[in-house]
Amino acid sequence: MERQRVIDAFVAEMVTAVHPDDPERAAALKAWLPAELPPAPTADQVDAWMELGELAADPALRQCLRTIEGEPPGEITHGPVLERVRAAVRAGVDPASAEGRKIAATIAGDLPRSRWTELAGQVEKYSDARYERYWALLMVLNGQPAYPPAAPLFAWFAAALRAG
């Protein structure tokens, strides 16, 4: 019962705190935040539910989610950008190297360099392992396939922006 209470409070907080003036976005977020286990949960869903209860009690995760979910999504989160960074990480490219800075410049596009530090700060929020784990658990609970890990990619991109 305690886990259910924590998750109920978490769902209510996220929906009201993140999109108080946008009922459509609030409804979309609420649809992804499970208020209870599915009727016939798999073993993985039960495990995810248990772990979500622990994560939902973490004030740092709640703050992270309020910050991230309250921002409109940017171009940096799209698949092609992440794939470009994933290729650089796989190739062992140092984000502070000339090649790493060039990749950051390509991704940043027309954004003035004076705003790269600001963008790096926004990108770094997505490199939080708790945030990534939270979404992985939601995917399991919603019966969706997991996304490939992206937190290290966001960390690499933020470092490349700061080096630029």
Q: Report the predicted TM-score, pTM, of the whole model to 2 decimal places.
A: 0.78
Residues 6 or more apart whose CB falls under 8 angstroms from that of 33 comprise 10, 11, 14, 15, 138
Q: What is the pLDDT of residue 88?
A: 98
Once rounded to an integer, what is the mean pLDDT over residues 106-120? 88
pLDDT by residue (tens digit) across 117-143?
988 988 888 888 888 998 899 899 889
Residues 6 or more apart whose CB falls under 8 angstroms from that of 70 comprise 17, 18, 19
Q: What is the pLDDT of residue 70?
A: 54
pLDDT confidence bin for 146, thresholds 50/70/90? confident
User: What tokens appear for 16 in the block?
Assistant: 């009201």
Residue 116 to residues 58, 74, 123, 153: CA-CA distances in angstroms? 30, 14, 10, 16
pLDDT by residue (tens digit) across 18-62?
667 777 877 777 777 776 788 899 999 999 989 988 888 888 888
